[in-house]
């Protein structure tokens, strides 16, 4: 029987070395040590290898060094006895077994203090077995062997090897002990390193039920939480099972996502690291938890650690040393840290601990020292006060927070915003400093685009201010604040209103409008606000914008131009940039620049482009400046801006992962405008890749009556066309265009018209294409956005066969970094121009980077029709993984996806995902092309 090639996921190298040793020609024996930490997969590898060896007539005997010595050797004796009847040299084997059994009977009830006589007989028996049949003796966990048994076990292993058998031992670590003599005897030591990320991803898909591919953000979250244990199979598997049982793993867009993404991941309660912590003695859990909260600690500050963890100083030092020695904590250059954050989360659950208690203890200690006149790190004190919560610190804590926030406002705006927030949360509504602090906090939050957090902050503080205003007819007057403070509060009310609107908190808007009404005295406010809400909820965007400008504009113009307003300038600019015509935009920009002569003028092209796709985050950054100071921004990396950026640059996998993370973060909350826009872009990517059902599911999540309907219509039009219903796509898309245009919404209008013109040309409707081009040209003349200019040039070049217009439009899109539009222009240029090759090759390279099978098919058809050879990749820059190589081999042998899935121990969906990535990386479009490339040696690792 020919020996079959087998693999175990992620351990191909070790599998091959074990298998080759057992099946090596000749009868030479071998002693192998398989070394790897607990959970690294030693047992799984041996079990898989054993099944394979048994199929190939190799006999395998196993014992564990973790059991007491008598029982360990008794187990081996029983295994040998079962083989007596099947062995060709039964008399000799029976003699040795009988001798061993007699020894055990003589020592019945004893602890077998001298195991050597028994081991001698067992060695003779195993020698008989090895001479008649290839034999493998597996001895697991030799690092747990008792000292008195180590020499006997070494003698046994040496004897089996001398008889031509293979002895395979496993060891968990590199520490010295009784087992070292066995390690010294070994012919080879095979280390099991952490699994590579590709193999971890494949295993995650299998362990999560094989229902879907694993989203990269989920893998990244596990990596961050587990640290050096990320490649440890047992830890990964137990962690994934726990997440499944907690219903934190959900399928979104056919990918397994973590919900909520920001919630930390914990080790399971039975994990070895937790056992090590508890074995280190009383107080060890509090010490580790304190370090988990603080991140790292200087060993010179041991008294502070002992006091914070509530552990006696001498005991704290002793326990800390053991925690480092047992690899629970790690020490580098005098700094101690916890390498596995998930351990800290597990300890928090185990003891119902919160980080606030640690920060509060440190804050109280530092405040007491500060009040005694001692030197303290005021910045560190402010950090602990922020994290300890509003109940910590008292009056002196508030003063520290305000002073440190003012000091950091220019150099570290993220820290300053956090400290202003903490101070505001501690002040009563009647405190005269509150308006100034609220304004500073809000301005910094806007700078950092933390809209959801700002909505929460203002929603917590500002309603309390309503109680500070007596009734209008009361004897105390309109407010306890001066006119400047009232103007600031009016600004804050406007800002609160807008962030509520941005985050979809429609039911809370009346609080903001009430506060605005209280700090202003114009009678027309109520009617204007009613008109605004009526227009907003009916989708009349232009009317809503005009009404809001009318409502807030005059109040703004009455303010002192030297005062720094929080939100009003940005609001007016943002609304005009989003939907305003060019002349209106120009006038508002001039007004804004007069108000802020010292502020750097924004890039108007970028601002207009941000407005054309309702990218409020980019618009605010352009208006207010980029005040990022290197610290993380909540939600920024998962926001609409990120998805839009990755869509334009062609990083579509990242865009979809970001969209899925946002979806997982807010599964039940009312969706904001940005959330809906993210879904639009995700649907467009799925449709362009030919994943039509996924595109439909993204569109189904978008709220009915979504104000930016042109963008939804743009995606639906493309989806219908790609499904083969081009005429219907044009007819329905034209009706959608007219309906949304008449309602005043223009976001995405030029993209829809551009698509309608393209499809009209394809079906030969030149009259329709001309009519739509006229609409697009008119729109571009009135709005003059970069996107509209590019769309008009490319569409005009297509309809009127104008190479100059086409080239100019492509070049502008290329300069702006809109890769999908460049690809669209390249397709048009390749179909129209006399020298199509460079255009078609560029477009093909782009759609291949997008992972768009539909786009690759389109360009392939164009190249064939123009007589141009298809481009071929020279292969991926990175070598193929072991799993990818195995899949290619099986494809070359003609196996189906189901057969491949069984062979590589993965789901069919995982195999399909690997094949899709292989097609994208290699440039081949089919299994046949991939197999041919393997046979011809055109793939790496082939």
The CATH superfamily assigned to 12-191 is P-loop containing nucleotide triphosphate hydrolases (3.40.50.300)
What values do phi and psi take at 179, rounded to 5? -75, -10
Strand order in the sheet with 296-298: 296-298, 335-337, 330-332
Give residue-wise pLDDT tens across range 349-370: 998 888 999 999 999 999 998 8
State both tokens at 394.
Answer: 């008292």
Question: DSSP string spanning 355-376?
Answer: HHHHHHHHHHHHHHHHHTT---
Strand residue runs (E) in 282-386: 296-298, 330-332, 335-337
Strand 30-35, strand 249-252: pairing: unpaired
Contacts 24+ apart (CB under 8 A), 720-723: 721/755, 721/759, 722/687, 722/688, 722/690, 722/692, 722/854, 723/692
Instruction: Find the mean pLDDT for residues 89-108.
Output: 72
State both tokens at 486.
Answer: 């009232």
At 646 the pLDDT is 94
Q: Which DSSP state fits 479? A: -
Residue 117 predicted with pLDDT over 90 = no
Q: Could you tell me how many residues make up the chain?
A: 942
Q: Which of 6-20, 126-140, 600-614 has the lowest mean pLDDT?
A: 6-20
Class of domain 882-935: mainly alpha
What values do phi and psi take at 44, rounded to 5? -60, -40
Q: C-alpha angle 897/900/902, rounded to 5°?
A: 115
Mean confidence (pLDDT) of the chain: 80
Higher pLDDT, 352 or 274: 274
Instruction: Find the mean pLDDT for residues 611-619.
Output: 81
State both tokens at 721.
Answer: 């066309």
The answer to whether 12-191 and 882-935 have equal CATH topology is no
State both tokens at 635.
Answer: 């939600």
Q: Which residues face 140 on adjacent strands?
A: 64
CATH architecture of 272-353: Orthogonal Bundle (1.10)
- Alpha-carbon span 550 to 554, nearest angstrom: 7
Instruction: Find the mean pLDDT for residues 656-669.
Output: 82
At 5 the pLDDT is 40
Contact 501, 537 (CB under 8 A): no
Domain extents for the chain? 12-191, 272-353, 433-566, 646-700, 882-935
Residue 244 predicted with pLDDT over 70 = yes
CA distances from 648 to 47, 468, 706, 751 (A): 49, 49, 23, 13
Q: Which of 380-384, 629-633, 694-698, 871-875 has the lowest mean pLDDT?
A: 629-633
Residue 344 predicted with pLDDT over 80 = yes
- Maximum average pLDDT range among 104-108, 187-191, 805-809, 833-837: 805-809
Cis upstream peptide for 332 (omega within 30°): no
Residue 848 predicted with pLDDT over 70 = yes
Question: pLDDT band at 857, cuts 50/70/90?
Answer: confident
Instruction: Find the mean pLDDT for residues 924-940.
Output: 69
Q: Which of 52-56, 270-274, 422-426 has the lowest mean pLDDT?
A: 52-56
Give percent of the chain with pLDDT exceeding 90.
30
- Alpha-carbon span 821 to 755, nearest angstrom: 11
At 45 the pLDDT is 85
Instruction: Find the mean pLDDT for residues 612-625.
Output: 76
At 358 the pLDDT is 92
Question: pLDDT band at 317, cuts 50/70/90?
Answer: very high
Helix, strand, or coil (residue 353): coil
> Using CA atoms in the order 514, 519, 521, 527, what is the torsion angle rounded to 10 degrees?
-30
Question: pLDDT band at 695, cuts 50/70/90?
Answer: very high
Strand 330-332, strand 335-337: pairing: antiparallel
Give residue-wise pLDDT tens across range 390-411: 888 888 999 999 999 999 888 8
Strand 249-252, strand 59-64: pairing: unpaired
Give percent of the chain with pLDDT exceeding 70.
78
Give residue-wise pLDDT tens across range 281-291: 889 999 999 99
Question: pLDDT band at 371, cuts 50/70/90?
Answer: confident
Give residue-wise pLDDT tens across range 408-445: 888 888 899 899 999 988 888 778 788 888 888 888 88
Strand order in the sheet with 135-140: 59-64, 135-140, 166-171, 30-35, 188-191
Higher pLDDT, 868 or 512: 868
At 631 the pLDDT is 45
Strand 255-258, strand 30-35: pairing: unpaired
Q: Which of 166-180, 653-667, 740-754 has the lowest mean pLDDT?
A: 166-180
Residues with Cβ within 8 Å of residue 129, at least 6 apart in sequence:
59, 61, 80, 83, 87, 93, 135, 165
Give residue-wise pLDDT tens across range 768-785: 999 999 999 999 999 889
* Total Cβ atoms within 10 A of residue 203: 23
């Amino acid at each position: 029987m020919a020996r079959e090639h087998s693999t175990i996921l992620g351990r191909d190298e070790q599998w091959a070395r074990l298998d080759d040793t057992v099946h090596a020609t000749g009868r030479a024996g071998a002693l192998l040590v398989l070394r790897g930490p607990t959970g690294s997969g030693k047992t799984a590898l041996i079990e898989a290898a054993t099944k394979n060896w048994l199929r190939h007539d190799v006999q395998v005997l196993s014992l564990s060094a973790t059991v007491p010595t008598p029982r360990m050797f008794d187990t081996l004796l029983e295994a040998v006895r079962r083989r007596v009847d099947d062995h060709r040299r039964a008399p000799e084997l029976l003699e040795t077994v009988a001798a061993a059994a007699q020894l055990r009977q003589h020592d019945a009830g004893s602890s077998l203090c001298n195991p050597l006589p028994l081991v001698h007989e067992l060695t003779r028996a195993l020698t008989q077995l090895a001479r008649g049949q290839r034999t493998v003796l597996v001895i697991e966990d030799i690092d747990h062997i008792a000292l008195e048994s180590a020499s006997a076990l070494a003698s046994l292993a040496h004897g089996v090897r001398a008889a031509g058998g293979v002895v395979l031992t496993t060891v968990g670590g590199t520490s010295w002990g009784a087992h070292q003599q066995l390690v010294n005897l070994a012919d080879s030591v095979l280390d099991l390193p952490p699994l590579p990320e590709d193999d971890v991803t494949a295993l995650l898909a299998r362990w999560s039920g094989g229902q879907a591919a694993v989203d990269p953000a989920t893998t990244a979250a596990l990596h961050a939480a587990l640290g050096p244990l990320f490649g440890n199979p047992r830890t990964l598997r137990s962690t994934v099972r726990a997440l499944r049982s907690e219903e934190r793993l959900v399928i979104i867009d056919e990918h397994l996502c973590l919900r909520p993404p920001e919630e930390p991941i914990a080790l399971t309660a039975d994990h070895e690291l937790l056992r090590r912590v508890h074995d280190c003695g009383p107080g060890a859990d509090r010490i580790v938890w304190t370090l988990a909260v603080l991140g790292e600690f200087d060993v010179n500050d041991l008294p502070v650690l002992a006091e914070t963890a509530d552990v006696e100083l001498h005991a704290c030092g002793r326990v800390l040393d053991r925690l480092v020695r047992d690899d629970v904590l790690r020490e580098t250059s005098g700094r101690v840290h916890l390498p596995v954050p998930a351990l800290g989360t597990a300890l928090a659950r185990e003891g119902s601990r919160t980080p606030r208690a640690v920060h509060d203890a440190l804050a109280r200690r530092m405040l007491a020292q500060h009040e005694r006149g001692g030197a303290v790190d005021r910045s560190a004190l402010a950090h602990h006060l922020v994290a300890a919560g509003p109940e910590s610190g008292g009056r002196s804590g508030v003063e520290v927070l305000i002073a440190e926030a003012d000091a950091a406002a220019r150099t570290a705006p993220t820290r300053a915003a956090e400290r202003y927030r903490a101070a505001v949360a501690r002040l009563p509504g009647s405190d005269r400093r509150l308006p100034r602090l609220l304004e500073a906090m809000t301005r910094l939050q806007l700078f950092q685009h933390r809209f959801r957090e700002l909505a929460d902050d203002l929603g917590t503080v500002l309603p309390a201010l309503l109680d500070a205003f007596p009734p209008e007819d009361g004897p105390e007057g309109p407010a306890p604040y001066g006119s400047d403070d009232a103007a600031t509060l009016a600004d804050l009310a406007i800002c609160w209103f807008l962030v509520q609107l941005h985050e979809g908190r429609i039911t809370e808007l009346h609080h903001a409008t009430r506060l605005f009404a209280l700090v202003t005295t114009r009678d027309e406010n109520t009617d204007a606000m009613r008109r605004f809400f009526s227009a907003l909820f009916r989708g009349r965007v232009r009317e809503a914008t005009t009404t809001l400008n009318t409502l807030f504009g005059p109040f703004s113009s009455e303010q002192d131009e030297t005062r720094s307003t929080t939100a009003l300038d940005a609001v007016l600019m943002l609304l005009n940039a989003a939907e305003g015509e060019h002349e209106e935009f120009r006038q508002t920009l001039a007004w804004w620049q007069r108000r802020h002569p010292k502020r750097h003028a924004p890039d108007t092209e970028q601002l207009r482009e941000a407005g054309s796709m309702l990218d409020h985050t980019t618009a605010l950054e352009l208006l207010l400046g980029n005040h990022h100071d290197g610290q993380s921004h909540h939600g920024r990396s998962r926001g609409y801006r990120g998805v839009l950026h990755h869509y334009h640059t062609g990083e579509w996998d990242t865009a979809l992962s970001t969209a899925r993370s946002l979806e997982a973060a807010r599964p039940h909350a009312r969706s904001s405008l940005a959330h809906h826009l993210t879904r639009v872009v995700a649907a467009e990517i799925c449709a362009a890749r030919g994943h039509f059902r996924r595109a439909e599911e993204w569109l189904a999540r978008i709220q009915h009556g979504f104000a930016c309907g042109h963008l939804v219509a743009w995606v639906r039009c493309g989806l219908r066309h790609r499904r083969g219903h081009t005429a219907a796509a044009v007819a329905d898309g034209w009706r959608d265009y007219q309906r949304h245009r008449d309602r005043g919404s223009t976001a995405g209008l030029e993209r829809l018209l551009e698509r309608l013109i393209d499809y009209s040309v394809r079906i030969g409707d030149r009259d329709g294409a001309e009519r739509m081009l006229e609409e697009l040209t008119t729109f571009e003349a009135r709005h003059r956005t970069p996107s509209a200019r590019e769309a008009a040039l490319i569409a005009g070049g297509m309809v009127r066969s104008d190479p100059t217009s086409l080239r100019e439009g492509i070049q502008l899109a290329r300069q702006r970094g809109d890769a999908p539009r460049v690809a669209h222009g390249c397709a048009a240029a390749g179909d129209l121009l006399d020298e199509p090759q460079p255009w078609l090759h560029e477009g093909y390279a782009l759609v291949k980077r997008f992972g768009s099978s539909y786009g690759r098919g389109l360009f392939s058809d164009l190249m064939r029709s123009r007589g141009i050879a298809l481009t071929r990749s020279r292969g991926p820059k990175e070598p193929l993984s072991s799993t990818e190589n195995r899949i290619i081999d099986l494809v070359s042998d003609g196996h189906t996806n189901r057969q491949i899935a069984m062979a590589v121990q993965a789901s069919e969906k995982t195999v399909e995902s690997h094949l899709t990535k292989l097609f994208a990386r290699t440039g081949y479009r089919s299994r046949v092309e991939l197999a041919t490339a393997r046979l011809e040696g055109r793939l790496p690792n082939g």
